[in-house]
Amino acid sequence: MILPTQQSTPLLQGPAILNENGLKAHVACQDFSFFYNDNQAVKSVTLDFPSYQVTAIIGPSGCGKSTLLRSINRMNDLIPGSRTSGKLLFDGQEIYGPRLDVVTLRRRIGMVFQKPNPFPKSIFNNVAYGRRLHDTQNQEELRSIVETSLRRAGLWDEVKDRLDDNALSLSGGQQQRLCIARALAVDPEILLMDEPTSALDPRATARIEDLIAELRGRYTIIIVTHNMQQAARVSDFTAFLYEGNLIEYGQTAQIFTKPREKQTEDYMTGRFG
């Protein structure tokens, strides 16, 4: 495991990496592996995540989906015995480079988790928290950032008159959209979503899926989901992982209608998983 040093460098714009569709790869895995001690959870994956598109990562439980996702903003760093090999690039710069500024990385690559995790603070302070931490103390500017973020998360009209209420008073679906607003408030370029609707009811799930559609083109979104129908609805590209291996990757329509690999077809048709 490589931890940031005091002489960390800012993230720079590296050479553009284009995928087979001619789209710039915001994140690129090149023979990337991730280990928990001797357990190789991600196995030599080579995969590009195109800029400002929605990419879904699908596969059965334990196939390495979340491990790969969390590697992109180094959320796995504090797990004892974890290590990587190969390359994982963000705008051409190595994410696991020894001098990379992890704080800057996590500002530019936001994360939304499986279960809503609002802070036990007011709705306003939940959204403002990251900007206060990074660079913004001006209250007028914070109010503007909070409103913009809540609007982008589709929550403003529901909470604009109760911004001082505790965020824990919101429903589960509202809490998840609040967590999305909190991630958007620091103005990231990439939004990682790890099973963001698995703890929500169908109505709240539909709201989150509509929100992903609205955010498409403004952010690069990478979503891990166990729900294949959801992947088909929300994503432009899909990657299928099995036992840590990348089995197939391509445009979502192709993956779901004409998969090239028999394993993909078997998974799609419910023969395993």
Q: Exposed, middle or buried by CB within 10 Å (0-12, 13-18, 19+), for 104?
A: middle
3-state DSSP call for residue 238? strand
Looking up tokens 């050479």, which residue turns up? 15
In this predicted structure, what is the pLDDT of residue 6? 33
Residue 148 and residue 121 in contact, taking contact as beta carbons nearer than 8 Å: no
Report percent pLDDT > 90 for the chain.
Answer: 84
Measured from the Cβ of residue 200, the count of other Cβ atoms closer than 10 Å reads 20
Helix 202-215 and helix 172-184: axis angle, to 10°?
20
Least confident window among 14-23, 90-99, 137-146: 14-23
How far is residue 197's CA from residue 201's CA, in Å, rounded to a whole number?
8
Closest CA to 29 of 14, 18, 45: 45
142-177 residue pLDDT tens? 999 999 999 999 999 999 999 999 999 999 999 999
Closest CA to 204 of 173, 234, 175, 176: 173
In this predicted structure, what is the pLDDT of residue 9? 39
DSSP string, 5-34: -TT-B--------B-TTS-BEEEEEEEEEE
Instruction: Compute and round to an integer the Cα radius of gyration of the chain.
Output: 19
How far is residue 222's CA from residue 23's CA, in Å, rounded to a whole number?
15
How far is residue 202's CA from residue 75's CA, in Å, rounded to a whole number?
29
CA distances from 128 to 139, 146, 163, 164, 193 (A): 10, 6, 11, 12, 20
Measured from the Cβ of residue 125, the count of other Cβ atoms closer than 10 Å reads 18
The gap between the terminal CA atoms of the chain, to the nearest Å, is: 31
Residue 181 and residue 149 in contact, taking contact as beta carbons nearer than 8 Å: yes
32-50 residue pLDDT tens? 999 999 999 999 999 999 9
Report DSSP state, residue 168.
Answer: G
Looking up tokens 């089995």, which residue turns up? 247
CA–centroid distance for 128 within its chain: 20
- This prediction has a pTM of 0.89
